[in-house]
Structure 1
Amino acid sequence: MSNPSSAYPVVPVEGKATRQVLVQNEQLMIVEFNFEAGGVGALHSHPHVQSTFVKSGRFEFTCDGETRILSAGDALLIPSGAVHGCKPLDGPGTLVDSFTPRRDDFL
């Protein structure tokens, strides 16, 4: 069994945001990202497959040049290697991201 989320610190990240690993093992990692109003998740890519669930707020997501607006309760799948990023709209927001395999750079 994995450690509870309280075992992982809240880490400030660029773009007016924080992240906290909730659970993880070698095959899967679930991470919560909290964005302040005006925050941004800069465009980037990684070899991990990622799913994103919008826990609260509204976000503009760009993935491989396509832009969509997602609201609380919406989800999206980001393929391995896709260039993607996001920004909260209308204030702060929270995302819950899953990565497979685990993102060792978050530990």
Structure 2
Amino acid sequence: MFFKGNETELGRVDDNTLRKNLAYGDGLMNTLVIFEHGLASDATIPFHKHAHVQTTYVLKGAFKFAIKYPDHTDVQEVHVGDSIYFPSNYEHGCIPLEDDSQLIDSFNPVREDFL
């Protein structure tokens, strides 16, 4: 199945975030996430979790990411070309550090809530 860039639109997630589903099927989904404005590095990281396994690739800009493990919280600053793996049901989150920072997120299984 082919997914053409002009066939799907960016949708607004919140005041600072846009998301576009790139391709999905058979248990895998890729999305583009764009953060319009960077935040201060000491801004609070909003945490969330989901049953999906996730990988993230930093396409543009910089981010501060955090993952809560059972015995500690890992916080890292990541930049273009860096990747992150999020296990299922682990709390995680990020803040963009630069304007127009962009991520490619991949999920298994497909995020039905994104369709």
TM-score by length of 2: 0.84
Q: Is the 8 A contact 2:38 2:101 kept in 1?
A: no
Deviation at 1:36, TM superposition (A): 1.4
Residues 35-91 of structure 1 deviation map (CA, whole Å, 9 limit, x = unaligned): 012468731100000000000001000111211010000001000001011011133
RMSD: 1.8
**Bigger fraction of residues in strand:** 1
Aligned to 1:22: 22
> How many pairs does the alignment contain?
107
Cα distance in 2 for residues equivalent to 1:25 and 1:3: 11
Cα distance in 1 for residues equivalent to 2:90 and 2:111: 15
Percent identity reads 35
Aligned to 1:13: 13
**1:32-51 residue pairs with structure 2 within 5 A?**
32-38=32-38, 42-51=46-55
TM-score by length of 1: 0.90
- The code of the aligned residue for 1:96 comes to I
Range with bigger deviation, 83-92 or 51-60: 83-92
Q: Is the 8 A contact 2:45 2:66 kept in 1?
A: no
> Structure 1 regions of 5+ residues with no counterpart?
none
Tell whether 2:62 aligns with 1:58: yes
Aligned to 1:3: 3
> Structure 2 regions of 5+ residues with no counterpart?
none
